[in-house]
Each structure stands twice: as structure tokens, then as C-alpha cells.
Amino acid sequence: MSKIINNKLMVSEYKEFKINLDNRNLLEILQEIKLGKFQSDVKSIRYAIHKGDEKLQFLKSEIDNWLMQGRKKTFAETALEAEQYCKTKKG
């Protein structure tokens, strides 16, 4: 029973899961991950997914936005956008 209560508390208290890579060495971050520094964050995300927590969608969008920062489109993505644009502008 106490485990269920603890998991609910973990879901309701999301930590900011952001890392500024500009000032950090990637090797340090990978070592922190390996040592389990982010284990509680990952557990709370997994629990939220399992229980269908409504806050999860916000958290997922934050992670997606973080991943997309500074990302360039692939040639295939650009070609697909161009094709879709051409299809919608015919007429």
C-alpha cells in the first residue's frame, strides 16, 4: 500500500528534467544516467504512462520540444513537405 502512495506522490511532483548541454560534458551526463541519477524521474514518467496521468501529455510535449531544438529536417522530410505543399496548392 505504501508503494502505491509513493508512486502517486512521484507522479504529482514532477521534477524539471532538463539539462543544458552547452555547459556540460556529455560524458558526465551519460555517467550520471548510468549511476541512476535520473532514476526517480524515469520511474515517475513510467508510472504516469501506466496510469494514464493527464499531466503526462504536457510532460511528453516538453520532452518532444527539447528533442527538436536545433534539429534540422532530413531530406526525406523536406521532400514530403514539398510534395504535400504542391498537392494542396494545385487548382
Task: Look at the block and give the residue holding cell 511532483.
Answer: 13
Average pLDDT, the chain: 67
The DSSP H or E segment spanning 29 is helix 26-34
Spans of all domains in the chain: 2-88
Contacts of 10 (CB under 8 A, 6+ apart): 40, 43, 44, 47
Label residue 75 by pLDDT band (50, 70, 90).
Answer: confident
pLDDT band at 4 (very low <50, low <70, confident <90, very high): very low
Arithmetic mean of pLDDT, 16-42: 68
Average pLDDT over residues 66-90: 81
